[in-house]
Amino acid sequence: MTATQIREAVLAILSDIAPDEDLGELKEDVAFREQLELDSMDFLDIVMELRKRYRVQIPEEDYTALASMKSTVEYLEPLMKDL
């Protein structure tokens, strides 16, 4: 997957988890939690959806790499390049 495809995949997951949020104004390098009404369970749901939909294993110690859209795409790019 390309960076654009990964971004679209993350947006799709976010829209499922937080359907009332306006994702059109999402800033690339600002933490999701600062922009969206996400709690820790929502964040875990994002990780679980990535695992379920794309078979991406994310160790707990790497969760901080998924803070913003930019950092999430950068983290996932090498893991999802062959999808």
Q: What contacts 67, CB < 8 A, 6 or more positions away?
A: 31, 32, 33
pLDDT average, residue stretch 43-61 = 96
Instruction: Judge contact between 82 and 62, C-beta under 8 A.
Output: no
pLDDT average, residue stretch 22-43 = 94
% of residues, the chain, pLDDT over 70: 100
pLDDT for the residue numbered 52 = 97
Place of tokens 């495809």: 5
pLDDT average, residue stretch 18-35 = 94
Matching CATH number, 3-80, of 1.10.1200.10, 3.40.50.720, 3.30.930.10, 3.30.365.10: 1.10.1200.10
Mean of the per-residue pLDDT values for the chain? 96
**Torsion angle, CA of 24/27/33/39, rounded to 10 degrees?**
20
Q: What contacts 83, CB < 8 A, 6 or more positions away?
A: 1, 54
